[in-house]
A and B are shown apart, each in its own frame.
Chain A
Amino acid sequence: MSKEPTIDIIHREEDGMHVLHLAGRLDSVTSPEAEKKIIEIIEKGELIIINLKDLVFISSAGLRLILVFMKKTKKRNARMIFCSPGDHVLQAFEVSNFTEFLEIASTLEDALARARGQ
């Protein structure tokens, strides 16, 4: 029997920053759950870091969701930094031109340093 794809989202606050750790798959099955959780945070946060280290797969539905997040973040004059994308996720960002508007850090430490303006 095939297992349903899942996404785990761990949220923590650090120095006024919201750090979200995404683990699993971001696709048409998991997107509605991720959308609900992350938009809640976007609506109250000024600085959001999304750690993609354990995101193993992203589909067009997941990319669409990231586009929605970025538009909402921009509308609120907030800032969203993505960090540690795996090869598959980075390749998906590249082929869909998302690297043109996403702020991507190679590691979480790098993302935190950027957020602190270091």
Chain B
Amino acid sequence: MTTGGLGGDGASRERALRGLFVAGLLDTLLTTAAFLLANSGVLLADFLKTSIELIAITLSWMAIRRINRGGGKKYEYGLGKLENISSLFVGLVMLLSFLIITANAVRNIIEPGHIAGIGLWISIASQVVYLGINGGLYLRNHRLSKAAPSPLMESQTKLFLTRFVGNLFILLSLGLSMALSRHHWAAYIDPAASMVIALSILSATLGIFSSSLYDLLDRTLEEERQIVILAVLARHFNDYEELHGIRSRRSGAEVYVEIFLEFDPEKKVAEVQRVVDILRHDIETQLQGSRATIALTTQPVE
């Protein structure tokens, strides 16, 4: 039974995501107001960035809530694929945002103008506050992601690091644009800074695509994890007759391993069962979040 493990871990993940949702909603309201009350490309980028984060958090929160409210019983293999699909959707929205910010920056470079409006002051005040909040949330998410790795938590961690760096850049770019407004070249600070934010979004997008897409295609485990499986089989080298194949795949935070073994036909079922139990226990203990299946066969498995 795995419900015990899901409860404790799932509850802490849900609490973390709820906190992130509230913080993200406030941030989105502030950035929307700032964007509408100023003519800054950086504030457009900030508005899009916070909106993406709110979408990502909402999707993650809904998925975790579903698992914790009993959805896990209907999906015995977990909701890993849903996590992957959610991450890909967030990645697509991020890609779209990158394109909008880039197009706006190009336009502002062709037709430069100094930024102005009360929205700038709203943004500066909120950036100072959110700089501290996002730094803290990034560290918290990073810890959770390390404890229970999954594409979903990974995408959250990346998003909050992007936010933190974004806050710093926005503060700096708005401050410089306003302080140096007597120089005509200062009009280029805003589009240049918005491109920096756009590139950080693109970088996070590529990371999300590469991990979520490959996991969705049932990519096998990484080398270091494959070695763990082989080390267990090596430790029990004399307990089975032949190794006919190993298959592995990831699904969200879950790792599935299938090992195909042949046993001496003279061996008693109880002895075979003992070896199967030991191998399964050793693999599941050493590979975090893994579920191992030992299948008996006399034929090679591709």
Chain A: residues with CB nearer than 8 A to chain B?
59-61, 63-64, 67-68, 70-72, 75, 92, 95-98, 100-101
Contacts and interface: CB of A to CB of B under 8 A. Distances in A.
B227 interface: yes
Contact of A68 (B223, B231, B238, B243): B243
A60 B242 contact: no
Contact of A67 (B238, B241, B243): B243
Contact of A97 (B234, B238, B241, B242): B234
B246 interface: yes
A67 B223 contact: no
Interface in B216-249: 223, 226-227, 230-231, 233-235, 237-238, 240-243, 246
A98 B227 contact: no
A100 B243 contact: no
A60 B227 CA distance: 6
A70 B246 contact: no
14 contacts: A60-B227, A60-B230, A63-B227, A63-B230, A64-B243, A67-B243, A71-B243, A75-B241, A75-B242, A96-B231, A97-B230, A97-B234, A100-B234, A101-B234
Nearest to B232: A97
Contacts of B243: 64, 67-68, 71
Chain B, interface size category, equals 10 to 19
Nearest to A98: B234
Query: Looking at chain B's contact residues, is the secondary structure mostly helix, strand, loop, or mixed?
Result: helix
B139 to A, nearest CB: 31
A34 B33 CA distance: 65
Contacts of A95: 227, 231
List of 7 A-B pairs having minimum Cβ-Cβ separation, nearest first: A60-B226, A97-B234, A101-B237, A97-B231, A71-B242, A96-B231, A96-B230
B242 A72 contact: yes
A93 B231 CA distance: 9
Given A67-B234, A97-B230, A101-B234, 7 more contacts: A59-B223, A61-B226, A64-B243, A71-B240, A71-B243, A72-B242, A96-B230
A95 B224 CA distance: 10
B230 A64 contact: yes
A72 B241 CA distance: 8
Contact of B246 (A64, A97, A100, A101): A64
B237 A100 contact: yes
Nearest to A101: B237
- Residue among A64, A68, A95, A101 having the largest count of chain B Cβ atoms under 10 Å: A64
- Residue among A59, A71, A92 having the largest count of chain B Cβ atoms under 10 Å: A71
